[in-house]
Amino acid sequence: MRQLIEPWRHVFKLDPDRELGDLELEAICLSGTDAILVGGSTGVTYENTIDLLNRLRRYELPCALEISDLEAVVPGFDLYMIPMVLNTPDTAWIIGQHRKAIQRYGSLIPWELLLAEGYIVLNGDSSVARLTGADHSLSAEGAAAYAQIADKLMQLPVVYLEYSGMFGDMKTVRLVREMVENSQLFYGGGITGEAQAKQVAALCDTVVVGNIIYQDIQQALLTVQAVKKTPQMLWE
Ligand code: 1GP
């Protein structure tokens, strides 16, 4: 499954709990983005997730479900991304929910379709930070240390810098970039147009664009080519 995500430079994240018209969905799916990630922190249900998957299946894009609620695990996605929030004192969000899921679903789990994400949550005002009690007041060095836990100790396929709703501190992103050697570095948060998309694309492997889809779809669409045309800086 690692191979499926490797080419992803740009990803749109769609929230099943938010309305998106058919024309807008079509524009997103035909935009040239590499994949659709379905997920949200609150209000995600089995019903709204399966509805969105059915609408997405008219298009040929890879669709991944980022699981945040055990009640909303829908079969039929190409891939399941499993967040492990590293910077929370609450083990429920590191391994606790995961233990429950394995006990509940056991042999039904298609392990070959799962990828773990080492999440580092950095915007204290986001739903995900409130939900997980994440220690968002990390220094750049603190965030980079968590990134190394994910990359080097846990050897997770993905490190996800999550600034959801806020554009991140590029100094932190840069330091994390310098430290991550093997994991694929995802960034999400507060990208509202081309300029921000380019800054992130230079530093990260995969750029995730969410909220702006629902606020200004034209700006959201512009981020695709902005990311694709930006080469990544090379790190020794
Ligand atoms: C949210 O990382 C994503 O989980 C994207 O963030 O919604 O702020 O674009 P935004």
Q: Cα–Cα distance between 101 and 135 in angstroms, integer? A: 25
Bridge partners (DSSP) of residue 80 are 65, 114
CB-ligand 1 contact for 164 (6 Å cutoff): yes
pLDDT at 236 over 80: no
Coil, strand, or helix at residue 33?
coil
- Band of residue 41 on the pLDDT scale cut at 50, 70, 90: confident
Report the candidate in 40, 39, 31 with the shortest Cα–Cα distance to residue 10. 31
Strands 79-85 and 184-188: unpaired
Write down the architecture of domain 7-228 according to CATH. Answer: Alpha-Beta Barrel (3.20)
Residue range 139-167, pLDDT digits in tens = 999 999 999 999 999 999 999 999 999 99
Q: How close is the Cα of 42 to the center of ligand 1, in Å? A: 13
- Band of residue 234 on the pLDDT scale cut at 50, 70, 90: confident
Q: Cα–Cα distance between 236 and 7 in angstroms, integer? A: 21
Q: Cα–Cα distance between 139 and 25 in angstroms, integer? A: 37
Is there a binding annotation on residue 234?
A: no
Task: For ligand 1, atom 9, name the residue with the nearest CA.
Answer: 210
Q: Which atom of ligand 1 is nearest to the CA of 41?
A: 4
Is there a binding annotation on residue 190?
A: yes
Count of C-beta atoms within a 10 Å radius of residue 103: 8
Q: What is the pTM of this model?
A: 0.97
